């Protein structure tokens, strides 16, 4: 049996409205302003706030190759598998294909996070988008088609039908 614990804090009417939206399947934003409240400050400590620059939307082949060099073999195997079905690779299918479970697959993908922080993090933001995304609601991994094409090229030359088991990095 599933168990869920939710804490909703605020004025009585805010709590009622939030619960109503939750039970009706409507999205509930964190910290949504009240309809009659004035807009908050745009920035803190800056008279003329400056928008942060948007990170580039596209990866170059060289940037992906650089990221690839920092990844563990199991992380490469996961990315290579998802690159074959980038528009939505079901998690259950990925588990079967890799002979593993999502806990271990997620652990293997931590290598991507470490490499992204090391190579493409500046302050609190990243200069490149994440190469793989998990849609928890749909239970699929997603990947931009251009990223998937580059990863397929990175996998192909080395013939990475690697023999390493997905859990060998432990």
Contact 151, 64 (CB under 8 A): yes
Assigned architecture for domain 61-158: Orthogonal Bundle (1.10)
In whole angstroms, what is the distance from residue 146 CA to residue 77 CA?
18
Answering whether pTM is above 0.85, one says no
User: Which helix H or strand E contains 4, and what residues bound it?
Assistant: none
pLDDT tens profile 39-95: 444 444 445 545 555 555 588 899 999 999 999 999 999 999 999 999 999 999 999
| Domain coordinates in residue numbering, the chain | 61-158
Backbone angles phi, psi at 152, to 5 degrees: -60, -35
Per DSSP (E only), the strands in 12-169 are 89-90, 121-122, 125-126, 133-135, 140-142
pLDDT tens profile 103-158: 999 999 999 999 999 998 888 888 888 999 999 899 999 999 999 999 999 998 65
């Amino acid at each position: 049996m599933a168990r869920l614990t939710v804490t909703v804090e605020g004025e009585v009417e805010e709590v009622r409205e939030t619960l109503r939206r939750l039970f009706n399947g409507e999205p509930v934003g964190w910290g949504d302003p009240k309809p009659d409240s004035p807009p908050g400050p745009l920035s803190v400590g800056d008279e003329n706030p400056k928008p942060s620059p948007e990170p580039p939307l596209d990866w170059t082949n060289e940037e992906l190759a650089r990221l690839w060099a920092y990844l563990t073999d199991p992380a490469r195997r996961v990315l290579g598998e998802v690159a074959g079905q980038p528009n939505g690779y079901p998690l259950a299918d990925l588990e079967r294909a890799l002979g593993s479970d999502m806990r271990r697959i997620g652990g293997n993908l931590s290598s991507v996070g470490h490499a992204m922080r090391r190579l493409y993090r500046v302050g609190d933001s990243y200069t490149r988008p994440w190469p793989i995304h998990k849609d928890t609601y749909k239970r699929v991994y997603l990947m931009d088609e251009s990223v998937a094409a580059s990863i397929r090229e990175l996998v192909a030359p080395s013939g990475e039908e690697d023999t390493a088991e997905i859990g060998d990095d432990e």
